[in-house]
Amino acid sequence: MLQDDSNTFALGEVRVSSSPQERFDEYLQSKGKRTTQQRRVLVDTVFERHDHFDADELIGLLGKSTEGAKVSRATVYRALDELVEAGLLRKMTLGGRAVYEHDYGYPQHDHLHCTECDALIEFRSDELIALREAVGREHQFRVTGHRLIVSGVCQDCAGKRHRRQSPLDLI
C-alpha cells in the first residue's frame, strides 16, 4: 500500500532507464539463460501492479489468465529466485512465509507489518536513513542499504480487538 505524496513518509519516485522486462532479459543473457514466454508472462504479471505477494498468490493470478495457465509452479519458484537475484524483486520472510515486493524502480523504504492481518504498510524516513549513515560512519562501515520491518497491530485490527461486544455479535 503506497502512501500519498502529502504524507511525510511517502516513498517518492525513482526513474529507471529500462523496463523490468528489459532488465530481466539482460540478467538472463548474462547467466546464459533464455527468455521464455512463461518468464515474460510472469514478469508482466508481477509488474502490472504494486502489491506485496507470495508465490501462491502469484500462481493464482497466473492461473486466471489464459497465458498464465501454462506457467508451472516450479517455473514460478525458479523465476522468483531469478527476479530477486536480478535486483527486480525483494524477498522478505514474515511469519515463516516468503513475501515479495518490487525492488527495481522503487526507493529505499521500510515496512509496518500487522501481525494480526499480515498487512504491510510502506514508509520512508529521512531520519532513519540519516541514523543509518551516522552509525555507519561511526563504525567506518560503508552502508549500502537496510531493511526494517516494524511489527505490531494495525488500526483496523486494534479496533476489532478492543471493540465492546454488541447485541449483533450474538446473532
Q: What are 90's three cell numbers?
A: 525483494
Tens of pLDDT, residue by residue over 81-139, are 999 999 999 999 888 889 999 888 777 888 999 999 988 888 989 899 999 999 999 99
30 and 89 inside one domain = yes
Average pLDDT of the chain is 84
pLDDT class of 2 with cuts at 50, 70, 90: very low
| Residue 146 labeled ligand binder | yes
Q: How many domains does the chain have?
A: 2
| Residue 114 labeled ligand binder | yes
Residue type, 146: H
Please indicate, yes or no, if residue 42 is contained in any of the structural domains: yes
What per-residue confidence (pLDDT) applies to 49?
81
Torsion of CA 93, 95, 96, 102, to 10 degrees: -30
pTM of the model: 0.75
Tens of pLDDT, residue by residue over 85-94, are 999 999 998 8
CATH number at residue 152: 3.30.1490.190
Q: What percent of the chain has pLDDT above 90?
A: 49
| Residue 109 labeled ligand binder | no
| Residue 117 labeled ligand binder | yes
Closest CA to 125 of 1, 2, 3, 10: 10
24 and 87 inside one domain = yes
What per-residue confidence (pLDDT) applies to 10?
53
| Residue 157 labeled ligand binder | yes
Q: Are the C-beta atoms of 152 and 113 separated by less than 8 Å?
A: yes
